[in-house]
């Protein structure tokens, strides 16, 4: 079965980002496919590579990147939510005249249409948020 | 429909909103699992709705909050694999955020 996952909450906020990650792992462990993970609202903060949590804490961002690499996941960050919160890739840096990028590996910035497409293409869409 | 509740019933009315839909399955996760505590204020509400809803609670979140060994009768504990199975079993799901 094809799953899509929507993450609306930032890392280290309440629990939604952690639950979404554990759910994604369980989906893959069960042999299902993840069509896309879409990060929206404060969820886009899961995609900054500049976080430095204490060494004895989980690294939520790196954990997503690793999962994406291992399973070739499509992890999409909403562009409008990213612009508001300072999540920047090369294209956004040039377009908006910024002096740096911070998008973590495995993520890409795109539009809300990607969420709609995931809702259409996947058999199930599960929402995690605050 | 599978209703996913991640908020404590003492914080937000998500459980009541799900129950108001009439029937289906309810999965309690994160702070939502407090509703499943035996002897808690919500126990009677869950018991009364049992004819119309099936109740599940995420075992990792029950354990994290120290209530895994006193879950209200009729609430089934499931792990993340069980969470995935429930989503697959029900054609639609709603997270009451």
pLDDT for position A18: 98
Candidate from A19, A26, A123 with C-beta closest to B84: A26
Q: Is residue A80 within 8 angstroms of chain B, CB to CB?
A: no
Contact between residue A122 and residue A3 where contact means Cβ atoms under 8 Å apart = yes
Show the 3-state SS of A63-127.
Answer: HHHHHHHHHCCCEEEEHHHHHHHCCCCHHHHHHHCCCCCCECCCEEEECCHHHHHHHHHCCEEEE
pLDDT for position A71: 98
Give the CATH number of the domain where residue B84 resides: 3.40.1260.10
Indicate which residue of A7, A60, A78, A88 is catalytic.
A78
Domain enclosing residue A114, as ranges: 2-128
pLDDT for position A90: 98
Candidate from A15, A26, A127 with C-beta closest to B80: A26
- Flag if B83 and A26 touch (Cβ within 8 Å): yes
Question: Count of domains in chain A?
Answer: 1
Residues of B in contact with A16 (CB under 8 A): 6, 30
- B26-69 pLDDT tens trace: 999 999 999 999 999 999 999 999 999 999 999 999 999 999 99
Domain enclosing residue B9, as ranges: 2-95
Beta-ladder partners of A128: A7
Question: Count of domains in chain B?
Answer: 1
The alpha helices in B24-90, defined as continuous H runs, are: 43-49, 59-64, 80-89
Contact between residue A97 and residue A58 where contact means Cβ atoms under 8 Å apart = no
- State the Cα–Cα distance between residues B59 and B29, nearest whole angstrom: 8
pLDDT-flagged residues of chain A (< 70): none
Chain A, chain B: beta-carbon pairs less than 8 Å apart: 49
Question: How close A127 comes to chain B (CA, Å)?
Answer: 6
pLDDT for position A31: 98
pLDDT for position A95: 97
Candidate from A27, A29, A124 with C-beta closest to B93: A124
Q: Is the pTM of this model over 0.95?
A: yes
Show the tokens assigned to B1: 């429909």
Which of B31, B96, B28 has the alpha carbon at shortest distance from B56?
B28
**SS3 label, residue B64:** helix
ipTM over 0.90? The verdict is yes
Angle, helices A16-29 vs B80-89, to 10°: value is 80
Give the CATH number of the domain where residue A10 resides: 3.40.1260.10
For A21, name the nearest residue in chain B, comparing CA atoms only: B80
Mutate to test the interface with B, among A1, A30, A125, A126 (most CBs of B within 10 A): A126
Active site residue A67: no
Count of beta carbons in the 10 Å neighbourhood of residue A38 = 27
Q: Is residue B48 within 8 angstroms of chain A, CB to CB?
A: no
Q: Is residue A16 within 8 angstroms of chain B, CB to CB?
A: yes
pLDDT for position B49: 98
């Amino acid at each position: 079965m094809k799953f899509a996952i929507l993450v609306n909450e930032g890392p280290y906020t309440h629990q939604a980002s952690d639950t979404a990650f554990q759910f994604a792992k369980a989906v893959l462990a069960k042999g299902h496919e993840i069509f896309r993970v879409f990060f929206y609202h404060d969820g886009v903060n899961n995609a900054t590579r500049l976080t430095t949590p204490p060494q004895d804490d989980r690294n939520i961002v790196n954990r997503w990147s690793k999962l994406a690499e291992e399973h070739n996941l499509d992890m999409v960050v909403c562009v409008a939510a990213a612009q508001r919160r300072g999540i920047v890739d090369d294209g956004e840096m040039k377009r908006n005249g910024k002096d740096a990028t911070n998008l973590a590996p495995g993520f890409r910035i795109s539009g809300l249409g990607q969420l709609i497409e995931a809702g259409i293409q996947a058999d199930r869409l599960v929402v995690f948020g605050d | 429909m599978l209703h996913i509740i991640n908020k404590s019933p003492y914080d937000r009315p998500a459980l009541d909103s799900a129950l108001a839909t009439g029937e289906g399955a309810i999965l309690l996760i994160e702070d939502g699992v407090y509703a499943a505590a035996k002897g808690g204020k919500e126990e009677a509400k869950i018991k009364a709705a049992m004819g119309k809803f099936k109740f599940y609670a995420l075992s990792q979140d029950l354990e994290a909050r120290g209530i895994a060994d006193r879950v209200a009768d009729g609430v089934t504990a499931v792990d993340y694999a069980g969470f995935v199975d429930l989503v697959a079993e029900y054609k639609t799901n709603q997270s009451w955020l």
